[in-house]
Amino acid sequence: MSTPILAVREVVRTFGGLRAVDGASFDVEQGSITALIGPNGAGKSTLFNVVSGFLSAEGGSVQFEGRRIDRAPSHRIARRGLVRTFQVPRTLTRLSVLDNVLLAASGHPGERLSGLLLRPARARAYERKTRHRAHELLELVRLDKHAQDYAGVLSGGQRKLLDFARVLMTEPRLVLLDEPMAGVNPVLGRQLLEHVLQLRAEGGMTFLFVEHDLAVVMEASDRVIVMNEGRVIASGTPTDVRSDERVVDAYLGVVPPT
Ligand SMILES: Nc1ncnc2c1ncn2[C@@H]1O[C@H](COP(=O)(O)OP(=O)(O)OP(=O)(O)O)[C@@H](O)[C@H]1O
Ligand SMILES: [Mg+2]
């Protein structure tokens, strides 16, 4: 079997006495669309924060493409090609929608400041290419008409779409999406899902996404990982997971017999 693109092992993260992530372990296979599900407070977003370097792990390890990343800061992890969106997007409200997307490209390997300063022609070519791509991505999420508007005027759903465009701007290999469709108008949500499927098929990107709508999970994912109380309680294909008693119990809030 090939090395998983992401390997999470026994990760622990506490807040005071609360064990938000309590020894979670799972793999994400290269080229897959993997769903991370579980009831509110299960630790899904905390796990995303640890994997993407926004929070430190107190125990365990995280490997991306075979290399440890659990001590690396978020910007370094992003530069290696692992990026995430936020459940509540971190929109730069006083910048234009377009600038929000353009900024995401900074620090990208294509943009080496020293090189750009020495070669103005190449710098201009890079900038043209970057702007072109930013406009393409804004078109993709139907925000092109708002390119020059302050990002602060966007609705919550539109900010999620902007966040998606920002993430794609970095040309990632692994994308973590935290409830990408929540609050997004259903038609756009569906389009976003189509884009994910297409980017996986054509660009070879891998996706790990948190989603509460089980119909979407069943339709879009190859693998499902189920968290409850900070741990992974089940994983498998959507069909496996749907018929798993522990999953049904966790979702229905029934305490399983010990
Ligand atoms: N920064 C924080 N400080 C204190 N407690 C936190 C913090 N972040 C999360 N928690 C707590 O950790 C637990 C897990 O939260 P987390 O946000 O990871 O859950 P989740 O699975 O993403 O839930 P949801 O589906 O509601 O988004 C919850 O009890 C939450 O209140
Ligand atoms: Mg969450």
Mean pLDDT by 10 residues, the chain (258 residues): 91 96 97 94 96 96 96 93 86 89 72 63 82 93 93 89 92 93 86 89 91 89 95 93 81 54
Mutate to test the pocket of ligand 1, among 13, 14, 21, 44 (most ligand atoms within 8 A of CB): 44
Which of the ligands is closest to the CA of residue 212?
A: 1
pLDDT of residue 256: 46
Q: Which protein residue has the closest C-alpha to ligand 1 atom 2? A: 15
3.90.1150.10, 3.30.460.10, 3.40.50.300, 3.90.180.10: CATH of 6-252: 3.40.50.300
Instruction: Please tell me the distance between residue 3's alpha carbon and the centre of ligand 1 in angstroms.
Output: 30
pLDDT of residue 242: 84
Entry field: residues in the chain? 258
Euclidean distance between CA atoms 83 and 89, whole angstroms: 13
What does each C-alpha distance from 255 to 205, 240, 248 come to in angstroms?
38, 21, 10
pTM of the model: 0.89
Q: Which protein residue has the closest C-alpha to ligand 1 atom 11? A: 20
Q: Is residue 14 within 6 Å of ligand 1 at its C-beta?
A: no
Q: Give domain limits for the chain.
A: 6-252
Residue 169 has phi, psi (to 5 degrees) of -60, -25
Instruction: Please tell me the distance between residue 49's alpha carbon and the centre of ligand 2 in angstroms.
Output: 10
pLDDT of residue 15: 97
User: Buried b / exposed e across 136-147, counting CB within 10 Å, b at 16+?
Assistant: ebbebbebbebb
Q: Which protein residue has the closest C-alpha to ligand 1 atom 24? A: 40
Q: Which protein residue has the closest C-alpha to ligand 1 atom 7? A: 15
Residue 41 has phi, psi (to 5 degrees) of 80, 5
| DSSP-H helix ranges across the chain | 44-51, 74-80, 97-104, 113-118, 120-140, 156-169, 186-203, 214-220, 238-242, 245-252
Instruction: Please tell me the distance between residue 148's alpha carbon and the centre of ligand 1 in angstroms.
Output: 35
Q: Which two tokens stand for residue 71?
A: 């001590």
